[in-house]
Amino acid sequence: MTIKVAIINYGIGNIRSLYNSLKKIEIEAEIITDPESIYKFDKVFLPGVGSYKDAIEKIKKIGWDKAIKNFSSNQNKSLFGICVGMQILSTYGYEHGISNGLDIIKGEILRMDEHGCELKLPHIGWNNIKVLNKNLLTENLNNEDNFYFVNSYSFKTVNSNELIATTSYGIEFPSIINKQNVFGTQFHPEKSSKAGIQILKNFINA
């Protein structure tokens, strides 16, 4: 059976880079702009760059919020949020004021210095992960693998059984999360060389 893969384009996200990375592993993803089209696909990526507030406002304005929630409620489907796309899966975000997120994975997104980080923000560049819970997304990876980050905000709290890996930058913050069929990475797998490609493969092949 051919797996149908899509990338949501809601106006914020590194669409082309992700599309090209998937093409390297011979996955022809479709870039979708109509929320109703999401149900035709098996695996869907929710990318994002910029602010939480801008991202969730665009998601809701277009009607992606209901579509994403309905899609993720089907356990035969899988959703993968990247960077801000992961953050808006949360309950609330506090970037430029408080915003209600998609509330798919319980937690709050705060600026990292508000929960203890004293290093320069944004956190930009390569950093490794610490795998806490075995997960299909981390198959064939280890704690020495590096990934590319660009973030000033992060999850403050995540249920321990949904926290797959953390990264250290002044604080330990969640860098991979998973709740049932919904996954998220704070880093950009599409910009993370071989380790990032492995993450994409793991998601597609799960």
Residue 69 belongs to a domain with what CATH number?
A: 3.40.50.880
* Catalytic member of 83, 108, 123, 162: 83
pLDDT at 189: 97
* List 95, 108, 123, 188, catalytic entry: 188
Domain count, the chain: 1
What's the pLDDT tens digit per position in 138-179? 999 988 899 999 999 999 878 899 999 999 999 999 999 999
Q: Which of 95, 108, 162, 190 is catalytic?
A: 190
CA distance 119 to 184: 24
Known catalytic membership, residue 188: yes
26 catalytically annotated: no
Per-residue pLDDT of 46-75, as tens digits, reads: 999 889 999 999 999 999 999 999 999 999
| Sheet order of strands, 108-111 included | 99-100, 92-93, 108-111, 153-155
Instruction: Give the per-residue pLDDT at 143.
Output: 87
Active-site residue flag, 190? yes
Which residues span the domain enclosing 12? 5-205
